[in-house]
């Protein structure tokens, strides 16, 4: 019988989506095939401390991260070094002293949403450490997280996007009224205001007048140095999953009908009243166009492994717009990305198997790159 793969599941993190990450990781760990994988849970506290052994399932029941294990002593502080000869976790208090103390991992699943996890920072650390990981790489993660830069890439690739403006924190500090006037000179109310680098609708607001706009900007700029402002569109919200590396495939198209005025954090995770339609009730040609654009967006941002691509379908004109991509979408069994693939014929455990395969495939391909250059040999 072949040896089990050692899979590190990283969750938590320094992000406004910390709790969402814990819920996703609990689902992932529950669904991973214990006959195939030895699972190593790795929790990152809200302050950024890494703790191996913390179990997200116990955290969901209310246990603090340091106590979320079979025994309290099972949780230990660890780190990842930039030394690829270690290729795993080392105890933080002996990092760099003894290679024998490393805890090797075959692959990591970074089930982290938002900053310091989904934005390329963790992916860069794992690349430096020579560790295989599931999901998108440094560039794709960074582009996918930054809504402004993603829109610029989509526009350059000929993909339709809703118009936007960016307001930076320093601009608001210099004159909030002038910043609001600039927005009003471009868009009619209502407008949406979002942190440029955040997910799960954290910090997102809808403004119907200047007072609401001021408040929405202040909230968004608590989470990022840039706020993205878009005009309100009378639309349906459609989503499509993408899976693969160089030859990605698209799932069916699903629709979200929010329980609130828009699909905010409460509608996603608290009310449990939003409705999902799988597949979306849209014309076949519209669905096919969305699936094609989802793959084009995936390739344009140089993504790998997985992404959920979100779209707007304008109710008045029938125009389809790309809203954004999520390079590590919510991953509970009732989250949209797994449900899209389940409805497309890939059940949740098989989806996790495929993501691990894709991560290992990408890491093997990366090993083909030369990291040394000898000018005499090239002569």
Domains by residue range for the chain, with CATH: 5-133 (3.40.50.20), 144-160+234-365 (3.30.470.20), 165-231 (3.30.1490.20)
pLDDT tens digit sequence for 109-146:
999 998 899 999 999 999 998 999 999 999 999 999 99
- Rounded to whole angstroms, how far apart are CA atoms 131 and 79? 13
| Reported confidence tier of residue 46, pLDDT bands at 50, 70, 90 | confident
pTM above 0.85, yes or no: yes
CA proximity to 56, closest of 114, 10, 4, 89: 10
Length of the chain (residues): 379
| Reported confidence tier of residue 376, pLDDT bands at 50, 70, 90 | confident
pLDDT at 63 over 70: yes
SS (H, E, C) 3-19: CCEEEEEEEECCCCCHH
Residue 97: its pLDDT value, please? 47
DSSP for 337-376, please give it: HHHHHHHTT--HHHHHHHHHHHHHHHHHHHTTS-----HH
pLDDT at 261 over 80: no
**Cβ(129)–Cβ(80) under 8 Å?**
yes
Q: Is 360 exposed, middle or buried (0-12, 13-18, 19+ CB in 10 A)?
A: middle
């Amino acid at each position: 019988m072949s040896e089990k793969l050692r899979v590190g599941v990283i969750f938590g993190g320094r992000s406004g989506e910390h709790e969402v990450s814990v819920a996703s990781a609990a689902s992932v760990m529950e669904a991973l095939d214990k006959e195939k994988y030895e699972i190593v849970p790795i929790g990152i506290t809200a302050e950024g401390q890494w703790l191996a052994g913390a179990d997200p399932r116990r955290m969901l029941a209310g246990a603090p991260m340091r106590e979320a294990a079979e025994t309290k002593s099972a949780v230990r502080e660890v780190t990842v070094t930039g030394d690829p000869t270690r290729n795993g976790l080392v105890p933080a208090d002996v990092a760099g002293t003894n290679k024998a103390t490393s805890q090797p991992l075959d692959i990591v699943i970074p089930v982290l949403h938002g900053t310091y996890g989904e934005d390329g920072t963790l992916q860069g650390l794992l690349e430096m450490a020579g560790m295989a990981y599931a999901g998108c790489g440094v560039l794709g993660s960074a582009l996918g997280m930054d809504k402004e830069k993603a829109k610029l890439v989509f526009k350059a690739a000929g993909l339709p996007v809703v118009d936007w403006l960016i307001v930076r924190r320093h601009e608001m500090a210099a004159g909030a009224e002038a910043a609001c006037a600039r927005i009003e000179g471009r868009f009619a109310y209502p407008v949406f205001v979002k942190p440029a680098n955040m997910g799960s609708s954290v910090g997102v607001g809808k403004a119907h007048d200047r007072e609401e706009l001021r408040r929405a900007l202040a909230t968004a700029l608590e989470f990022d140095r840039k706020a993205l402002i878009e005009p309100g569109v009378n639309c349906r919200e459609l989503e499509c999953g993408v899976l693969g590396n160089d030859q990605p495939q698209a799932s069916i198209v699903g629709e979200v009908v929010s329980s609130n005025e828009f699909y905010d954090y409460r509608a996603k995770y608290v009310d449990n009243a939003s409705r999902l339609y799988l597949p979306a009730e849209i014309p076949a040609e519209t669905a096919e166009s969305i699936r094609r654009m989802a793959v084009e967006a995936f390739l344009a941002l140089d993504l790998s492994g997985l992404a959920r691509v979100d779209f707007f379908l304008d109710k008045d004109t029938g125009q389809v717009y790309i809203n954004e991509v999520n390079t590590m979408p919510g991953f509970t069994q009732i989250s949209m990305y797994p449900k899209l693939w389940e409805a497309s014929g890939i059940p949740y455990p098989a989806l996790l198997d495929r993501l691990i395969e894709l991560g290992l495939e990408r890491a093997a391909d990366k090993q083909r790159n030369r990291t040394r250059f000898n000018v005499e040999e090239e002569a």
